[in-house]
């Protein structure tokens, strides 16, 4: 059975209340913008979702686990530290990335809320009439609004990764119940920004009876980039 490398185990169970120091290029730019000179940024680990991948029917599990950590700095800025753990017969593959929330107006909204706010670019057009929000598929080539970076708006082209829409479940300690989650990853084929990755997360979209809610789940859209171990320090 494949084992996690010793130097990677720490990232699979980071302590709530601990701190993560980030010193990649984007963090250094952020530090300078905050007037602190060139240096690393420190974030407190305020949340952890341990998500186990499932088949779309939720009848079986898959050898994939996402560790999704909420990070907050002293200025109240939030990030998501993303650790994907994929187990194969030969090895355990660990992928890490940092994501942020670029769109204040569509963070934590249901699908129905997003339609009312005219945020439609992530969805396929309805193919049946009548239709429900929960039935809409996600666009494989979404027309993402221009991304602001270094004082200018940049047009970007994202493509859905071959893994497509993936399903999972995690246990919420605060609610003492299991929460369903959909995770869809996108990437720029020809990166034009410093954050060439995008994820769309939709949570709590099924009732206890396994029936999709008409209005859909709670949707979050995040942009980010991969990060190397050398740019991270657990403190």
pLDDT digits (tens, 9 = 90+) for 80-128: 999 999 999 989 999 999 998 876 544 578 999 988 888 889 999 888 8
The whole-number pLDDT of residue 106 equals 44
Q: In this structure, is residue 190 part of a structural domain?
A: yes
Identify whether the C-beta of residue 234 lies closer than 8 Å to the C-beta of residue 20: yes
Q: In this structure, is residue 58 part of a structural domain?
A: no
Pull the structure tokens for residue 41.
Answer: 């940024």
Residue 195, pLDDT above cutoff 50: yes
Q: In this structure, is residue 128 part of a structural domain?
A: yes
The whole-number pLDDT of residue 28 equals 57
Mean pLDDT of 46-65: 96
Start-end of H helices in the chain:
25-33, 111-116
Confidence of residue 3 (pLDDT cuts 50, 70, 90): confident
Exposure pattern of 128-147 as b/e (b: 16+ CB <10 Å)? eeeeebbebebbeebebeeb
**Domain identity same for 83 and 119:** no
Average pLDDT, the chain: 88
Q: In this structure, is residue 16 part of a structural domain?
A: yes
**Domain identity same for 30 and 124:** no
Q: In this structure, is residue 189 part of a structural domain?
A: yes
Q: In this structure, is residue 54 part of a structural domain?
A: no
The whole-number pLDDT of residue 149 equals 80
64-to-60, 67, 112, 233 alpha-carbon distances in Å: 12, 10, 30, 24
**Domain identity same for 75 and 112:** no
**Domain identity same for 138 and 202:** yes
131-180: pLDDT as tens digits: 999 999 999 999 999 888 878 889 999 999 999 999 999 999 988 999 99
**Domain identity same for 126 and 185:** yes
Domain range holding 73? 6-49+63-100+228-234
Task: Say how many domains are in the chain.
Answer: 2
**Domain identity same for 22 and 112:** no
Confidence of residue 31 (pLDDT cuts 50, 70, 90): very low
Query: Which of 50, 29, 23, 18 has the alpha carbon at shortest distance from 193?
Result: 29
**Domain identity same for 222 and 113:** yes
Q: Maximum CA pair distance of the chain?
A: 56
**Domain identity same for 112 and 210:** yes
**Domain identity same for 110 and 45:** no
Confidence of residue 186 (pLDDT cuts 50, 70, 90): very high
């Amino acid at each position: 059975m494949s084992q996690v490398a010793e130097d990677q185990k720490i990232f699979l169970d980071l302590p709530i209340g601990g701190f993560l120091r980030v010193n990649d290029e984007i963090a250094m730019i952020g530090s300078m913008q905050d007037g602190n000179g060139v240096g690393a940024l420190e974030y407190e680990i305020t949340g952890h979702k341990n998500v186990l991948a499932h088949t779309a029917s939720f009848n079986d599990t898959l050898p994939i686990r996402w560790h999704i950590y909420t990070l907050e700095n002293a200025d109240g800025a939030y990030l998501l530290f993303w650790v994907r753990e994929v187990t194969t017969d030969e090895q355990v593959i660990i992928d890490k990335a940092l994501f942020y929330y670029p769109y204040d107006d569509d963070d934590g909204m249901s699908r129905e809320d997003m339609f009312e706010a005219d945020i439609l670019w992530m969805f396929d057009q309805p193919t049946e009439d009548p239709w429900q929000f929960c039935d809409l598929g996600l666009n494989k080539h979404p027309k993402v609004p221009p991304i602001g970076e270094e004082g200018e708006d940049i047009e970007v082209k994202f493509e859905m990764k071959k893994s497509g829409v993936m399903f999972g479940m995690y246990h919420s300690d605060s609610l003492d119940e299991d929460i369903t989650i959909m995770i869809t990853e996108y990437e720029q084929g020809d990166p034009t920004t410093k954050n060439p990755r995008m994820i769309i997360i939709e949570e709590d979209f099924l009732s206890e009876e396994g029936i999709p809610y008409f209005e859909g789940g709670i949707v979050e859209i995040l942009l980010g980039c991969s990060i190397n171990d050398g740019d991270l320090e657990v403190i």
